Amino acid sequence: MKILVTGGAGYIGSHTVTELIQEGFQPIIVDNLCNSSVKNLEGIRSVTDTIVQLYNVDCTNEIEFKEVFEKEKDIVGAIHFAAYKSVEESVREPEKYFQNNIGSLKVLLKLMEHFEVDYLIFSSSCTVYGTPDNLPVTEEAPFKKAESPYGETKQQCEEILQSVAIKSISLRYFNPIGSHSSGLIGDCSADKPANLIPIICEVAKGVREKLIVNGNDYNTIDGSCVRDYIHVVDLAKSHVAALKYLIKNPKKGVFNIGTGKGLSVLEAIQCFEKANKTNVNYEIGPRRDGDVEEIFSDNTKVEKLLDWKAQISLEQAMQDAWNWEIKK
Ligand code: NAD
Ligand code: WQD
């Protein structure tokens, strides 16, 4: 089964492409490499012994994107990763985010309708929940005012998906971390890391002097913020599970994709240090604007319906994150 994977050269996309191949699907990548590189494609080739077709096309370019559908006649479904993802940049340049993140989805939906491609898996985010009223957060929790234009694009994309005929599943990822155990596939983003675990890796490597912990006066276990960190390979596998489910149950759905366990920033540092037998230099700084105090996933729905569960331990995720950092 031929599956179109937009953003398939990116961090989560490349891991998903690997899992798709291992599960017998034929992924076709559409990625303009604006935030990745062919390094991940070489990694996919080494790990799976398969050369994946890449179309270096911008998904907002309808004419070029249409040519992909024309060439690859029998596409069964699509997984849409292509988007910009920097929360901080989205605050500075919101229009760029609305154009790319919403624009690419609209073009994809139009082409899917035209070429009668029925199934879509969409990369959403737990950011749609803002600060939830109840924990763990379930899929029924309402959308809160988005913390950023990036978050708003995810909310709007989910709303668009509810309004069209195409059957889709939105996967609301919690915090993806780690890399493929081979150390050959990972986050190839050119930007300076902005997420916690990549920053911890840079500090451990000596590229950065120290980590600033964004506040220790929250109402949490140790005062630092709590998140649900999920290994990217577990996350990748959830796409295959969602795709198989959607093909069997052609209707709309949303699922949380997390581990169900919260970890504080200070616990994450300790876990990294223990897993990698190294020290992370840190100091406590002020709170970060717009940070959610605590969020972690209720996995009841996904475990029941998709028959998927995160399997990889946090220690392993920290080791794999470090392995990518030292190899890259
Ligand atoms: P990434 O930047 O590594 O991957 C995105 C890929 O899409 C990149 O390879 C980029 O080159 C490509 N791309 C972007 N715009 C494009 C366009 N217009 N046309 C073609 N290709 C385009 O990011 P990621 O971390 O792999 O995230 C994948 C998806 O998951 C995104 O939609 C992101 O918003 C979502 N998500 C990510 C996280 C996270 O923490 N990484 C969490 C929740 C949701
Ligand atoms: C995790 C925790 C920080 C850096 C973001 C997006 C979200 C999703 C995932 C895409 C927070 C703390 C961090 C540092 C720190 N992406 N931290 N010092 O904010 O949960 O989510 O990425 O959808 O939409 O908002 O992830 O990794 O930035 O932060 O103390 O130098 O680590 O304050 O509590 P976040 P993160």
- Contact 125 CB / ligand 2 (< 6 Å): yes
Residue of the CA atom closest to atom 34 of ligand 2: 225
Number of H helices, E strands in the chain: 12, 13
Domain of 166 in residue numbering reads as 2-187+225-261+292-321
Return the pLDDT at 190.
84
Is residue 213 in some structural domain? no
- Contact 12 CB / ligand 1 (< 6 Å): yes
Tens of pLDDT, residue by residue over 256-284, are 999 999 999 999 999 999 999 999 999 99
- Contact 18 CB / ligand 1 (< 6 Å): no
DSSP lists the bridge partners of residue 212 as 283
Domain count, the chain: 1
DSSP lists the bridge partners of residue 30 as 6, 55
Return the pLDDT at 144.
93
- Which ligand minimizes its atom distance to the CA of 6? 1
- Contact 100 CB / ligand 1 (< 6 Å): yes
Is residue 194 in some structural domain? no
Is residue 173 in some structural domain? yes
Tens of pLDDT, residue by residue over 76-111, are 999 999 999 999 999 999 999 999 999 999 999 999
Q: How far is the CA of 196 from the centre of ligand 2 (A)?
A: 6
Q: How far is the CA of 101 from the centre of ligand 1 (A)?
A: 9
Return the pLDDT at 328.
84
How remote is the C-alpha of 225 from its chain's centroid? Answer: 20
pLDDT at 159 over 90: yes
pTM over 0.95: yes
Return the pLDDT at 270.
98
What's the whole-number mean pLDDT along residues 128-152? 96
What's the whole-number mean pLDDT along residues 199-219? 98
Query: Mean of the per-residue pLDDT values for the chain?
Result: 97
Structure tokens at 309: 């569960």
Residue of the CA atom closest to atom 43 of ligand 1: 125
Q: Which residues contact 313 (CB under 8 A, 6 or more apart)?
A: none
Give the domain CATH number at 110: 3.40.50.720
Spatial separation of the C-alpha atoms in residues 245 and 149, rounded to whole Å: 31
Structure tokens at 111: 């082409």
Q: Yes or no: say if 130 and 83 are a contact pair by the CB < 8 Å rule.
A: no
Is residue 202 in some structural domain? no
Is residue 43 in some structural domain? yes
Spatial separation of the C-alpha atoms in residues 69 and 62, rounded to whole Å: 11
Is 32 strand, coil or helix? coil
Tens of pLDDT, residue by residue over 12-67, are 999 999 999 999 999 999 999 999 999 999 999 999 999 999 999 999 999 999 99
How does residue 11 score in pLDDT terms, banded at 50, 70 and 90? Answer: very high
Is residue 327 in some structural domain? no
Is residue 117 in some structural domain? yes
Return the pLDDT at 48.
98
Residue of the CA atom closest to atom 1 of ligand 2: 196
What's the whole-number mean pLDDT along residues 247-256? 98
Give percent above pLDDT 90 in the chain. 98
